[in-house]
Structure 1
């Protein structure tokens, strides 16, 4: 009893609060914020990771969708949350691309968030409806050059699919019109219904529509074909050197105790190494990664520099 009282007394003057929190963490439900609408690829990955993580931590991990502002709404919510490990962000590549599109952001990725672990790597595909006039990538070139105004849907401005599409424009000399949605789920439905002739997105949110034959993948923006859809050619194979992949990882508010970060990192790494998780995600074109918080931190910085350079070179502009 005396030792417990002494520990609590000392915690106010030392670094022990983090230790105390980590030893009892978690003792209540955790919220994992997805900055996109429900049903998209980020949401799909977040929910299976949350389910498995809950089993390991012996506490519920609740996925909460906060879409809008090219992920700024959900990200800002987490940044403002108490840094105790109970509010986490399923961060996306927008953390690296948004600084290139927005002069000001309501947060600073480098100082307001603490990376926990990079969970996945997700290549971009080009999709179309079986009812659309586009049947192959060459049709996009042909119809565009014939003066037909083709548009494409994405999960939002500044997303990696948006970046991939704009690089596709630059490499082909075409001018496809961007139609941004609040999330992948909406964009996929629009493309499947032929409301928009093309969609640049990851396979995960489109998986159900592809399986049902309501959406057709035309190409993948990757160095090599995916085992998820081995018959789909890469854009490189088709003479269009576009390589682009989204990524999703878990982050916490800055100031979250290091011991809590380490515990989350260990448990989430175990989750993404789980074969049932890997098989489920790979089927949808999602590749699991894992690693340390330090590796994830470096990766975000490298991605930010890469995409900002591409935005400048491609002369991409923010759309309102």
Structure 2
């Protein structure tokens, strides 16, 4: 009788243990699945041929090698990356959609200007690999030869000086801020905004405008048409042979905030990271390994595409910091 009772108790304990084990497995997301078992999609927030697009297409095949599945690049341009961001968030939060874009300042601007229903916290930033500072350069066809000369003309001869920028970019904001810190009405400048860097650069190269404020690295192709005068940075640019903006402004007793330039990289929805942490880590690790590939590094260098690895933690912190800086000065883009 005693043996039967012991056996019944042992069987009951085994049943309870098995039930608890099954419940634990069912309650947590699949972390040991066969992800990825189908192609992934990398969504670019700009058109074909732009900086973010070139970065994504250069990375895609190497990332595919690391993940063991093809990575297809598609473009969802429009509304300063608003369309692409909404598209990414509308996709299933399963890891098969990666957002490749210029997150600062574009994603930030879609939020600050009030058009976006999402926040920066709806995205999880895996890595920012390409940083670009803003270059201020005159057209060689312009009659102006220095930045102080241009600023004085804007001050004393309203609407006679023309400048090109990419709408909603860091250069757009910097052009407005440059006038404000010098006490010049922003309406004095004939500011021409374009939807792409290629159009803005063509305008200054052709002498349609007097100067441009735009990302430095993407401007190498029109270097021969430019008279570079300043870099928006804390350090002078050896590549362009120009001082910092504040060094140029110092004789006038003026100092301008150094706004962050373009920051490009990769993100997913925060819901994906929360629901599938193992999948998220797998993609992040694959990005890191891809950037360690010597063939890819040579390819990126030839295309003058950034290849830094700073990881999720620093990327998240940088996005938050830059959002606050741009938010502080974002009112300049409201008029």
The two structures share one fold, judged by TM-score above 0.5: yes
Find the partner of 2:325 among 290, 306, 313: 306
Residue by residue over 1:222-264, the C-alpha shift from the partner in whole angstroms, topping out at 9 and shown as x without a partner, is: 011235x151222122125342322112111232222222122
Distance 1:103-1:124 versus aligned 2 partners, 3 A rule: same
| Alignment check: 8 A CA contact 1:31 1:86 kept | yes
The farther-off stretch of 298-307 and 268-277 is 268-277
Q: 1:85 to 1:243 in 2, by over 3 A?
A: same
Q: Does 1:57 align with 2:67?
A: yes
Please say which of residues 230-239 and 51-60 is displaced more in the overlay. Answer: 51-60
* 1:286 positional shift: 5.9
Alignment of 1:15 onto 2:31: no
Name the CA shift for 1:207/1:46 in 2 (closer, same or farther; >3 Å). farther
Distance 2:291 2:137 in 1: 27
CA contact 2:138–2:210 (8 Å) conserved in 1: yes
Larger deviation: 52-61 or 74-83? 52-61
- Please state if 1:76 is matched with 2:76: no
Q: 1:253 aligns with which of 269, 274, 278?
A: 269
Q: Secondary structure at the match of 2:72?
A: strand
Of 118, 122, 143, 1:107 maps to 118
CA distance in 2 between partners of 1:10 and 1:136 (Å): 71
Q: Distance in 1 between matches of 2:247 and 2:124?
A: 39
Q: Distance in 2 between matches of 1:80 and 1:114?
A: 15
Q: Equivalent residue for 1:166?
A: 176
Shift of 1:131: 1.7
Specify whether residues 193 and 119 from structure 1 end up closer, same or farther in structure 2 by C-alpha distance, changes over 3 A only: same
Q: Is the 2:297–2:307 contact (alpha carbons within 8 Å) kept by the matching residues of 1?
A: yes
Matched, 1:67 2:80: no
- More helix by percentage: 2
Give me the TM-score of the superposition, normalised by structure 2: 0.78
Against the structure 1 CA distance between its residues 136 and 275, is the aligned structure 2 distance closer, same or farther, given a 3 Å change threshold? farther
TM-score, structure 1 normalization: 0.81
Q: Does 1:98 align with 2:110?
A: yes
CA distance in 2 between partners of 1:138 and 1:116 (Å): 41
Q: Any conservation in 1 of the 2:139–2:226 contact (CA below 8 Å)? A: yes
Structure 1 residue runs of 5 or longer lacking an equivalent are: 1-8
Larger radius of gyration: 2
Structure 1 pair 309–224 and aligned structure 2 pair: CA distance change class (3 A): same
Q: How much does 1:75 deviate?
A: 1.3
Shift of 1:60: 3.2
Contact kept? 2:66, 2:289, Cα under 8 Å? no
Which position in structure 2 is the counterpart of 1:139?
149
SS in 1 for 2:30: helix
2:197 corresponds to which of 169, 184, 192 = 184
The runs of 5 or more residues in structure 2 that have no matched partner are 1-21, 250-254
Contact map agreement 1:32 1:61 (CA 8 A) in 2: yes
Judged with a 3 Å threshold, the aligned counterparts in structure 2 of structure 1 residues 165 and 114 are, in CA distance, closer, same or farther, namely same
Cα distance in 2, alignment partners of residues 205 and 146 from structure 1:
32
How far apart are the structure 2 equivalents of 1:40 and 1:287? 14
